[in-house]
Amino acid sequence: MAYSFPEEVLEHVFSFIHTDKDRNAISLVCKSWYEVERWSRRRIFIGNCYAVSPGIVIRRFPELRSVALKGKPHFADFNLVPDGWGGNVYPWIAAMAMAYPMLEELRLKRMVVTDESLELISRSFKNFKVLVLSSCEGFSTDGLAAIAANCSGRFSEESRISSFDLLSFATFFLSNQTKRYNRFELKPACEVDIGSPISLIPDFAHHWCPSTFPAWPPRCPSLRTLRLNRAVPLDRLPNLLRRAPQLVELGTGAYSAEHRPEVFSSLAGAFSNCKELKSLSGFWDVVPDYLPAVYPACSGITSLNLSYATIQSPDLIKLVTQCQNLQRLWVLDYIEDSGLDALAASCKDLQELRVFPSEPYDMEGNVALTEQGLVSVSEGCPKLHSVLYFCRQMTNAALVSIAKNRPNMTRFRLCIIEPRTRDYQTLEPLDVGFGAIVEHCKELHRLSLSGLLTDRVFEYIGTHAKKLEMLSVAFAGDGDLGLHHVLSGCKSLRKLEIRDCPFGDKALLANAAKLETMRSLWMSSCSVSFGACKLLGQKMPRLNVEVMDERGRPDSRPESCSVEKLYIYRSVAGPRSDMPRFVWTMKTPS
């Protein structure tokens, strides 16, 4: 006898299930569960905007309130994807404007967002609350002004921001904006966060006119996040902090000024008043004399982004060792091994460390930062599980130590700046070191490789990295066997990005079915032939096989010629229709 709950009961039960994975799972149980689930889904994440079409999403999920979309492949961050590739959000906005008038949240990453799209958003969604544009491009302050104007005053009650305050800010911004500037291009990698509670848009700060609006920001008891533009000078910071002492996240503007005691004490006083401060960033053009002003707030700080702070190790050490509760640190390699030793000794709660190169194009190296710094932190910080580390030398022994110290590692991205660098002590490849990482760190879900690597490392990865979801490879491997190990062994693999490796047709064609279980595969400057791409495209209808070649049509060259760039992704929407002139899809016309 088949029992079934009434739909209302199922719906109520499903309301406790939030993660995409779980929701996807329950929708597979049976048809009635599928139906109840799809009507009750409110939030969706689409990792590749071309994997599905707006129409398909809307047909399946008629009541969405929150949509997240990602566009370009990750390597677009490093200029490997030419302009005009795609990822325009407009078709999505146009479709959702009709289908989801109650849409509240939109989160976009690596997409092209025009002012037209922003204006459409601002007109179409009466309940719109959250807009996050991360690494997007194509918009100007005109578009953001439309958002500010039309979406103001509608934030939810619990934010406790009176509509008067917000309206006056938005109006101020608009009227001054149109009076003085025709168009102002925001920097491409700008992050904009308009939500409830309010965050502030970095570049708008640039255009404040103190004489007409001296009371900015309005008294916003709910202002939680404030990130200033680099152009906002340091002497304005104390005043801003005094108006928003409940700030949780602060991004300073330029942290430099001539040393004046009254500015210093004003700043220190303002910081000591900010009892809720948990996150600090900004710190452009830092003058070390002013850093101690931050010390009163340090004991509460859990996230510190000093990746633009060009200060030397001693000053960094003084600051970082004040932050006993630090969980996340982003810093330049000026911190050096000595600074990382101090970090390891003081910050026992550290979970994430990112060390960026101060001089990425200088092959000689300008700082005393070596593999030893990372080993120290891995020893001293038991909760460390996420690492991004740029350095110039490495040894297998160091990697083995790190692996044994931190079996809880989940994200490990190592970039040895010089491609194909050997273990500098033994002169061997770094296969064994990375092998230890994947063997000991059983929960590893993201890995980036560098240094000299043979097919052996891929064998280790294929054998051990069973939870690996994203792998980035550059200048590594000997041949197809390496790629075959990864594609056949890494059960959880979703994203694979490869550049400048001698991987050719065989592994790709032999593992074609695997590609349908992944979100995407990127291969550039490898040895995949045009013929193989065509074959793959023909045989795998649910894969979009896109060849990118700025040298011209791939069929104007022999089929055995390697393609420049290859982007393969699974899709239920078929080949896309917005490809630029340098992208070809390998689909036979049906």
Partner 1 sequence: MSPQLPKPSPESSSAGLYFNDTELTLGLPGATKSGTKRGFSDTVGLNLRGPCNTDHASNPSENDVSGDSKPPPAKTQIVGWPPVKASRKNVAKISKYVKVAVDGAPYLRKVDLEMYGSYQQLLGSLEDMFSCFPIRNYLNERKLMDPVKGSDYMPTYEDRDGDWMLVGDVPWKMFVESCKRLRLMKSIEAIGLAPRESQKCTSTSGSKSL
Please provide the DSSP assignment of 532-580 as one string: HHHHHHHH-TTEEEEEE-TTS-GGGS-TTSBPSEEEEEE-SS-S-S---
Q: Are 510 and 485 spatial neighbours (Cβ–Cβ below 8 Å)?
A: no
Q: How far is the CB of 553 from partner 1 (least distance, A)?
A: 18
Residues whose CB is less than 8 angstroms from the CB of residue 111 and which lie 6 or more positions away in sequence, other chains included: 49, 69, 70, 71, 72, 87, 88, 89, 136
Site for partner 1 in 319-338 (CB under 8 A): 332
Q: How far is the CB of 456 from partner 1 (least distance, A)?
A: 6
Cα dist. 496→7, 189, 278, 439, 465 in Å?
Answer: 41, 23, 35, 19, 13
- Distance (Å, rounded) from C-alpha 507 to C-alpha 528? 10
Site for partner 1 in 2-31 (CB under 8 A): none
Site for partner 1 in 407-446 (CB under 8 A): 415, 417-420, 422, 427-429, 431
Q: How far is the CB of 314 from partner 1 (least distance, A)?
A: 18
Site for partner 1 in 347-376 (CB under 8 A): 356-361, 363
Site for partner 1 in 88-117 (CB under 8 A): none
Q: How far is the CB of 309 from partner 1 (least distance, A)?
A: 9
Q: Which of 235, 379, 500, 516 binds partner 1 (CB under 8 A)?
A: 500
Site for partner 1 in 504-533 (CB under 8 A): 504-507, 509-510, 512, 525-527, 529, 531-532
Q: What are phi and psi of 185, to 5 degrees?
A: -85, 130
Give whichever of 271 and 458 is closer to partner 1, judged by the CB atom: 458
Alpha-helical (H) ranges within 151-236 are 163-180
- Written as six digits, the tokens of 489 are 């062994």
Give whichever of 31 and 179 is closer to partner 1, judged by the CB atom: 179
Q: How far is the CB of 320 from partner 1 (least distance, A)?
A: 18
Site for partner 1 in 183-212 (CB under 8 A): 184-185, 187-189, 206-212
Q: b/e per residue, 304-334, with b = 16+ CB within 10 A?
A: bbbebbebebebbbbbbbbbeebbbbbbbbb
CA 159 to chain centre: 27
Q: Using alpha carbons, select from 328, 291, 338, 337 the residue that is nearest to residue 310.
A: 291
Q: How far is the CB of 447 from partner 1 (least distance, A)?
A: 14
- Written as six digits, the tokens of 316 are 């960094």
State the number of binding residues for partner 1 (CB under 8 A).
82
Site for partner 1 in 551-570 (CB under 8 A): 559-560, 562
Instruction: Verify binding: residue 213, partner 1, rule CB under 8 A.
Output: no
Q: Which of 182, 577, 588, 590 binds partner 1 (CB under 8 A)?
A: 182
Give whichever of 187 and 259 is closer to partner 1, judged by the CB atom: 187
